[in-house]
Structure 1
Amino acid sequence: MEISSLYSTLPLAFLLLLTLKLFSSWFKQPKNLPPSPPSIPILGHLHLLKHPLHRTLHSLSQSYGPVFSLCFGYRRVVVVSSVEAAEECYTKNDITLANRPSTVAGRHIGYDNTIVAVASYGEQWRSLRRAYTLEIFSSARLNSFLPIRRDEIKRLLLNLNKRASASGDDFTKVELKPIFWEMTFNIVMRMLTGKRYYGEDVTDAEEAKVFREIMSEIVEYAVSAYPGDYLSILRLFFRNYEKRVTWLRKRSDELLQNLIEEQRNSRRKRCGGECREAVLDHLLLLQEKQPEFYADEIIKGLVLVRTNWTIFRISSSSWNTAYI
């Protein structure tokens, strides 16, 4: 009887201690925060969030001003909705606001929050940003890819002409989003790896299929809200999320590592030589000169961020249909 009574009491004691801890952290909130709507203990303002989110935030700004604070579980956020305040945040106080909260997706997919999209401000972040600015997005580097952009635009126009000719009608309805998706993604991947992954004439059909599936799923998990990031106890009820993110980390890491090894072997066959136009080849050349920074994980992170940013931008675009 005593043992069974102990087993029934322990869970209640655990929940009581957890509740006391949450409440104690709740009442230790800083006092110099912007105005905030009434909140619910533990949940904070999660109950206020409704779709569409931008209209909810706009409605709250009408009552609490252009700068107000919210609490998502134990995470504090500040909402800025005026041009003047946003300008001040991104100019005078940009370094102060440069840190990012740690998330489950960032730890698993983002190589323990070391890629530039999720890393906090510091020497690592500054080095990554410098690499993007000089080695990927510099004017000289982008200009060197002009033939790739011209070729993909030509392919798009030929595709549209083929569809128009096949229809036989005066006007043909065309879905623009998949066409621009294909063109933009192929431009980026040819810049990064020298490979086409969408549409006809892909470099490797099976590799392209796997790459598209993994990267699209990474974007889905990276931008989705995971309850466990706001209330740790909820991770007990959303275990599938962490399992899936861990699986994605393994698959994407294997895929990116294979791309690196393939490019590295190609360089060896050329006995080093001058770098080709692919960014990945150029990054491996930098790795030979600066191995202490351009490790494989850094290179994979650079490719991952550039690829998924493209997918995210295309997914959130408003391209619709047109008649040709």
Structure 2
Amino acid sequence: MLLYLILLIALYIVATHLNNKIKNLPPNPFPALPIVGHLYLIFKNKPLHRTLSQLSSKHGPVLLLNLGTRRVLLLSSPSAVEECFTKSDVVFANRPRILLGEHLGYNSTSLVWSPYGSHWRNLRKLLSHDILSNTSLQTLSCCIRKDEVRSLIQRLINNQNQTVDMKSAFLDFTLNVITRMMAGKRYFGDDVAARVAEEAERFREMMAETVRVGGGVNALDVLPVLKWLAFGAAERKFIALQEKRDRFMQDLIEDNKRKMGIDHANDRRMKTMVEVLLSLQDQSDAQFYKDETIKSLMLVFLVAANDTSLGTIEWAMSLLLNNPDILEKARSEIDNQIGFDRFVDELDLTKLPYLRCIILETLRLYPAGPFLLPHESSEECTVGGFRIPRGTMLLVNIWAIQNDPKIWENPTKFNPERFEGIEGARDHGFKFMPFGSGRRSCPGEALSMRIVGLTLGSLIQCFEWERVGEKMEDMAEASGLVLAKVQPLQAKCRPRPAMLKLLSQI
């Protein structure tokens, strides 16, 4: 009986493999096992982006994987990615339905996971024009980012010459920036207002739970049968977290409604993101700008903006600590352009091209998301000469592309000079896509570059930095949807003598 079962499985594997070749599907690693498919190939100790990069190196840059019940098109070729996001951009404009999206605030009404169509286009226009445009970022919230950078500087001054948990400091900083922009409140730091202490504690617990629950891919998305086993508890955790976040965001909306009622005559007061969105409820189609839509935008903004900015700042500082000559070159640029009688400002960032090169090189080596958020084909198409069936999930390994020795010279070397003369992230085309490409590229690129540029520039300008101990900073990567360091950054700093007078005025 066992022999017949083994023969049956072998016949299934061979028949499936031959069927893929006959149908002109992309290369498919052999064998694809029944039920689990190629999942056995990716459960390794290495970070997932490195594991999938090795698979692509072995089987080709256009690869078809069967991950449980999911058919996944894995790309690590700039030309294939260009084909998907130009010729077939509309075909791949949809998102797959996954639990990670639905239960962490990214449901069908959200900008990130909404199906491609009129609702998504309205959401995209709303966020791009009213919240994240350069004009809005400058007029509505530039002083918030400046204030929080000053608070971060003061925190470091208070801990000078001591070992500082930089990741914790950066996390508090980025979340304060985002929550102040979003709802006018700060929840981290010793100076959190007593009136919001309980609310701040709720928020901190919610964000900690988000990291614990949402740190990886949910097994139920590739093997739904697990729902009937103990894995169903994971889904319940997702649902419970989303309910908790939904209640918190609704409370923020109600609080901002009360604030708008009290200060309705004060047009000069800086408005929060929530207030801007609420004001559109009275001016536009209330059905579209209802509270549910605002909450989904807030959750996307909170999670996506924080992950991108926090990780990039931490990776950049780690790289600079390991490359003091590059740190000194960046400091010299700031000293020459800004001087010592004022702090770096967002408007100064255009005068600091080498600082921008450092940020772009950091994003090349350590993109915040090693994979672009998944897409899904809405109809059959071709990519790289292969037939791609309808309903195929598209996964782009941008880490593999941005670290490919066939594309980049000495790709593992931290070399900001390679970006000199490059105006923006998209000038390298599909070889460099830290913010994605096509219709569903990240609308928060301008905000992220402002936060990272201002923060990094201020830290370089104000402090002398050194590693903790003699060893180089550990650059090992953790596995997950967000590229984080295995060992959080710790460092020591002291105010620069030339900046003491200015720092004393904070």
Q: TM-score, normalised by structure 1?
A: 0.83
1:219 positional shift: 4.7
Q: Hey, what's the Cα distance between the residues in 1 that align with 2:78 and 2:278?
A: 42
Please point out which of 282, 285, 300 is paired with 2:276.
282
Match of 1:158 in 2: 154
Equivalent residue, structure 1, for 2:297: 302
Q: How many residues align?
A: 296
Where do 5+ consecutive residues of structure 2 fail to align? 1-11, 319-488, 494-506
Partner of 1:260: 253
What is the root-mean-square deviation of aligned Cα atoms in Å?
2.5
Paired AA for residue 59 in structure 2: Y
Alignment counterpart, residue 71 of structure 1, candidates 66, 73, 83: 66
Give, as a single letter, the amino acid of the residue that structure 1 aligns with 2:257.
R
Which of residues 37, 51, 56 in structure 2 aligns to 1:56? 51
8 Å Cα contact 2:107/2:113 also seen in 1: no
Verify the 8 A CA contact 2:106 2:300 in the aligned structure 1: no
Q: Which 4+ stretches in 1 moved above 4 angstroms?
A: 26-30
Q: Which runs of structure 2 are paired with 1:149-188 in the superposition (5 Å)?
A: 149-164=145-160, 171-188=161-178
Cα deviation digits, residues 28-68 of structure 1 (max 9, x gap): 97924211102001111000002322222122112221111
Mapped contact 2:36–2:68 kept (Cα < 8 A): yes
2:143 aligns with one of 135, 141, 147 = 147
Report the 3-state secondary structure (helix = DSSP H, G, I; strand = E; otherwise coil) of the residue aligned with 2:65: strand
Opposite residue 280 of structure 1, the aligned amino acid is V
Report what 1:4 is aligned to. none
Retained in 2: the 8 A contact 1:276–1:282?
Answer: no
Map of 2:210 onto structure 1: 218
Question: Structure 1 unaligned runs (5+)?
Answer: 1-21, 165-170
Secondary structure at the aligned position of 1:76 is classed as: strand
Q: Please list the CA deviations of residues 142-183 of structure 1 after superposition, one character each: whole Å capped at 9, or x if unmatched.
A: 10212111111111111111112xxxxxx4332221112111
Q: What is the distance in 2 between the residues matched to 1:155 and 1:189?
A: 15
Deviations 1:286-312 (A, max 9, x none): 111121211000000111000011343
Cα deviations by residue, 1:226-271 (Å, 9 ceiling, x for unpaired): 2221122110111211221221122111111111111111212234
Structure having the larger proportion of residues in helix: 1
Q: After the TM superposition, which residues 102-141 of structure 1 pair with which residues of structure 2 at under 5 Å, given as runs?
A: 102-110=97-105, 112-141=107-136
Distance in 2, matches of 1:60 and 1:239, equals: 30
SS at match of 1:115: coil
State the match for 1:227 in structure 2. Answer: 219
* Cα separation, 2, equivalents of 1:158 and 1:227: 43
Secondary structure at 2:159's aligned position in 1? Answer: helix
Aligned mates of 2:197, 2:96 — CA distance in 1: 38
Aligned to 2:39: 46
Shift in Å at residue 135 of structure 1?
1.6
Change in CA separation of 1:311 and 1:146 when aligned onto 2, cut-off 3 Å: closer
Q: Confirm or deny that 1:200 pairs with 2:190.
A: yes
Greater RCO (Cα-Cα under 8 Å, separation 6 or more):
2
Specify the alignment match of 2:180 in structure 1.
190
What residue in structure 1 maps to residue 491 of structure 2? 322
Q: Is 1:95 paired with 2:87?
A: no
Q: Distance in 2 between matches of 1:304 and 1:205?
A: 21
Is 2:165–2:490's contact at 8 Å kept on the other side of the alignment? yes
